[in-house]
Amino acid sequence: MAGAPRILAFSASTRRESFNGKFLALAVEAAREAGGEVTLLDLNEFAMPIYNGDLEDAQGLPASAARLIGLIGEHHALLIASPEYNSMPTPLLKNTLDWCTRGDTNPFEGKVAAVISASPGALGGVRSLQLAQQLLLKLGCHVVPGQCILAHADKAFDAAGQPTDPRTRKSVQALAARLVLTATRLSA
């Protein structure tokens, strides 16, 4: 691979003050510091209907899904913030991944992926993180191992959006470094 590995990053929460959005911002910064070239997406710009086979048969692949598939294809790796709703990944994440597998080829095959999760709860979204990792493995990704989670996320950031506990930044930096290293090695 010539140059830095290209990483596509997005949060599966589109709330303006999303804890996962703040956590992802730290991870994006850490991935760039580790040598990655990161493209940060806002899934609000890729709105898709709930996946339905009849809808797909009638209307084909939504244009936003086709655009996202193209972007995934242009990157070596994915960095995904997976919020936890009722102990599961968000419907937004599942729907986005489902539509992106409906193209001519699987855009996830062979990509490197890292997942992070933040939650106001004591478990930090670990259940969502593990299920998102499992789904990405099933889609053909090389998932970077590790549990980069942020418990009590509602109290984890200062007014400037920076983490109040230095261990948070260290955890994110470690995962980002593994993502960049793995993407570099597998893309060579």
Delimit the domains of the chain by residue range. 6-187
3-state secondary structure 47-79: CCCCCCHHHHHHHCCCHHHHHHHHHHHCCCEEE
Rounded to a whole number, what is the distance in angstroms from the first to the last CA of the chain? 5
Residue by residue, pLDDT tens for the chain (188 residues) are 568 999 999 999 999 889 999 999 999 999 999 999 999 999 999 999 999 999 999 999 999 999 999 999 999 999 999 999 999 999 999 999 999 999 899 999 999 999 999 999 999 999 999 999 999 999 999 999 989 999 999 999 999 989 999 999 999 999 999 999 999 999 87
Which token pair is 130?
């593990």
Partners of residue 81 on adjacent β-strands: 11, 116
CATH 3.40.50.360 fits 6-187, yes or no: yes
Note whether 63 and 49 are within 8 A (CB). Answer: no
Which token pair is 23?
């956590």
pTM value is 0.96
Beta-carbon contacts of 165 under 8 Å, excluding residues fewer than 6 positions away, are 156
Note whether 117 and 80 are within 8 A (CB). Answer: no
Fill in the amino acid letter for 145.
Answer: P
Query: How are the residues of the chain apportioned to helix, strand and coil, as percentages rounded to the nearest 5?
Result: 45, 20, 35
